[in-house]
Amino acid sequence: MASSTVICPSTTPSSSTSHSRNYYYSACILRRHVRTLSFSSSSRISTNRASRTTMPGSKSYRSGFTKCFSASSPPPPSLSLPSALLFDCDGVLVDTEKDGHRISFNDTFAEKELGVTWDVDLYGELLKIGGGKERMTAYFNKTGWPEKAPKGEEERKQFIASLHKRKTELFMALIEKKLLPLRPGVAKLIDQALAKGVKVAVCSTSNEKAVSAIVSCLLGPDRAEKIKIFAGDVVPRKKPDPAIYVLAATTLGVEPSSCVVVEDSAIGLAAAKAAGMKCIVTKSGYTAEEDFVNADAVFDCIGDPPEERFDLAFCGSLLEKHPRDEEPEMPRIVASQLWLEASWKTINVDNFYMLSIWIRG
């Protein structure tokens, strides 16, 4: 009888005080009896009592059991699809930061004669702050406000808002000229999702008009009308706060746990995971060296065939509970490692009788 999975109790069966009769069984007889019932050459047993998870592919059970999976049994193919596919915008749909947003910020500063220029390295540091208005405010608070900036707090907020509005206009002009292309594989993955009835949304800290321009101009009006946009000040707190992803799931009428997010930054990843969603990272120019240890998968891009990195089926596979991730029902064939190691041990009649009944089913 072949068996590729063996469940091993991690504690010795307790003796019963209700029975006065104890039967003594030779270890060799017991070994033969249990081996006949449950073992074959393909069986795998964890032999370390102190550490039941030392074998490759093993999993601990709350009840003190360890399941050892056959290395030759790959997980089944994905049959699931996400309820929603949520994309960040900048760095995911388009690599906009270096030659898009940064240039637009600098052109705005030049128009207003603020004497400020953000170089490539500095802007990379500023990207750790979510949101353009928040980014400018943090920069001026640290380096000093320009002479032309007002002194009052409320007036400064209005000053920042006016700068950001002009920056957005300049950025949208770049997008409308299609000077910044979609990243590889974006259109393909969105088409796969829409064809399968998976809801698609873009969730970004950028200005809503800028995000809408990217979606409409670069993805086309047919796709754009099917894609929900959550952007800008639609939530009071920006990434890494999960608010925008929570809002997206609520508005779309889906569970966060059934959503897959595509992000490119550590703060975006943190927001997605805090919302309880799966997250795939596609690294961009500014985020390649960031820490993505908590991501469900990391790629350099989505990719178009023949260099496709992942597709909708892969997104769905992240939502499936792999056998290694859950506790399956215990099989009736059970072998006690402790009993096999015993020699002339006392085994209570009740315990042995119940074991034999369970094995027989």
pTM of the predicted protein model = 0.65
Of the options 3.40.50.1000, 3.40.50.800, 2.30.30.30, 3.30.750.24, the CATH number for the domain spanning 84-94+182-321: 3.40.50.1000
Model confidence over 50-101: pLDDT tens digits? 333 333 333 333 333 333 333 333 444 456 899 999 999 999 999 999 889 9
Is there a catalytic annotation at residue 88? yes
pLDDT attached to residue 324: 53
For the chain, the domains span: 7-75+324-360, 84-94+182-321, 97-176
Q: What b/e readout covers 108-139, taking b as 16+ CB neighbours within 10 angstroms? A: bbeebebebebeeeebbebbebbbbbebbbeb
Q: Is 307 helix (H, G, I), strand (E, B) or coil?
A: coil
Tens-place pLDDT, residues 304-345 = 999 999 999 999 999 987 555 554 444 434 434 433 444 344
pLDDT per residue as tens digits for the range 172-204: 998 888 888 999 999 999 999 999 999 999 999
What is the CATH T-level fold of the domain 97-176, as seen in this structure?
DNA polymerase; domain 1 (1.10.150)
The helix/strand count (H/E) of the chain reads as 13, 11
Residue 139 has pLDDT above 70, yes or no: yes
Distances (CA, A) of 217 to 3, 94, 169, 229, 237: 58, 12, 15, 14, 28
Cβ–Cβ < 8 Å for 318, 299: no
Same fold, 84-94+182-321 and 97-176: no
Return the pLDDT at 322: 59
Q: What is the mean pLDDT of the chain?
A: 77
Report the alpha-carbon distance of residue 164 to residue 208 in Å, rounded. Answer: 12
The active-site residue, picked from 90, 95, 241, 296, is 90
Active-site residue flag, 99:
no
Separation CA 26–CA 343 (nearest Å):
7
Report which of 23, 3, 131, 24 is spatially closest to residue 68, judged by C-alpha positions: 3
Q: What is the pLDDT of residue 11?
A: 38
- How, if at all, do strands 346-348 and 259-263 pair? unpaired
Q: 3-class DSSP state for residue 95?
A: coil
228-238, pLDDT tens digit by residue? 999 989 999 99
Dump pLDDT digits (tens) for 220-272: 999 999 999 999 899 999 999 999 999 999 999 999 999 999 999 999 999 99
Which tokens sit at 238? 């920006």
Residue 202, classified by CB atoms within 10 Å of its CB into exposed (0-12), middle (13-18) or buried (19+), is buried
Strands 58-60, 65-68: pairing is antiparallel
